[in-house]
Amino acid sequence: MSLRCAALAAALFLLLALAAPARAQDEDAPGPNAPSVEGMNPSTADVPLPDEITPELTASIAKGLKALAALQVDDGSFPSDRMERHAGITALACIAFMADGNLPGRGPYGEQVRKGLEFVLNSVTPTGLIASETSHGPMYGHGFATLFLGEVYGMTKGGGDTALSARLHDALVRACRLIVNTQNEEGGWRYNPVPHDADISVTICQIMALRSARNAGIEVPKATIDRAVEYVRQCQNPDGGFRYQLGRGGSAWPRSAAGVASLYYAGIYEGDDIKNGLDYLFKTALPGATNAARSHYCYGHYYAVQAMFLAGGDYWARWWPAIREELIATQEESGAWDDNYGRPYATAMSLIVLQMPKRYLPIFQK
């Protein structure tokens, strides 16, 4: 069976320091009208658009994957001069390779995924927290690393190295238990694994991690998800965007994209909160048609493309070509992308966005 078939058959899928809310967008700024939600087909995310994958996209991805592989060091991590030995960034880089059909030890970049998995597993602490020694705000990295473990487990369960499978299962269960046990009274999570306060950006990382684990067969309490959904909903502002924390803050498109995506991953596919959130993103962040703030660009588009993909229909049909062309145009000659968090992070996030149409990762399936 091909890697493509194996990955599809298994399907049932940052920043690190967003310590301060991004500036709110100008709510009066002109923006394109969002597509109508009427007639939206929840299954359209599973049906490719005509010309969804272009020769230019294929070439860009191939160049990007090669550049990303060159950024990995011997211990399996993807450090940069701005973020060193970070479990979350390593996880995102491996997810970018898995989005091309690679699995640990299997595929053209299977060795990179295997080494990255070893680094992430070696970063699991006795408490279940996944954090390398230089991690900042460890719950971000923990969320992305747990997501990666859930995707690997879901796509390889029952096969391969049984000792590695057992180790992976144990780490994933303990990582999920830590998430469940550190949810605060509001229903969210914050930078550190203690149930004190919460913000929406850390919360979405944990929601996606739990969704991936649940898809892979790991038990996740329904009450945990329900409380998280309520927290996200209470963070939505009247304009459709999302504030950083309960009770304070205006809307900003990166965290609003995360807010909409989190509702989808919690199993909510329609409603005013979804429609208003999608409309807000079209007004403030559609590539090439708005003056969206560049702060947290990769983070925002990582979630925005997921939200539009899961919305399907005209949402996906209009958003996808716009972000595809913008990312291809901003790729460096080396094949990498760059931002304030370094090339490994920006390259991984950009590749995950550009490989959405491949539909390999279980987390992206409805």
Q: Each residue of 31-52: pLDDT tens digit?
A: 455 554 333 444 456 677 888 9
What burial letters (b/e) apply to 92-130, b meaning 16+ CB within 10 Å?
Answer: bbbbbbbbbbbbbebbebbbbbbbbbbbbbebbeeebbb
Distance between CA 235 and CA 250 in Å, rounded? Answer: 10
Residues 192-197 have a mean pLDDT of 92
Task: Check: CB of residue 287 under 8 Å from CB of residue 323.
Answer: yes
Residue with tokens 């279940």: 128
pTM of the model: 0.87
Amino acid at 314: D
Answer positive or negative: Cα dihedral of 75, 153, 176, 298.
positive
Q: Is the pLDDT score of 151 beyond 50? A: yes
At residue 182, the 3 state secondary structure works out as coil
Residue 105 structure tokens: 């030890």
> Which has more pLDDT, 25 or 213?
213
Task: Check: CB of residue 297 under 8 Å from CB of residue 255.
Answer: no
Q: Each residue of 278-328: pLDDT tens digit?
A: 999 999 999 998 888 888 999 999 999 999 999 999 999 999 999 999 999
Distance between CA 35 and CA 52 in Å, rounded? Answer: 18
Distance between CA 20 and CA 34 in Å, rounded? Answer: 28
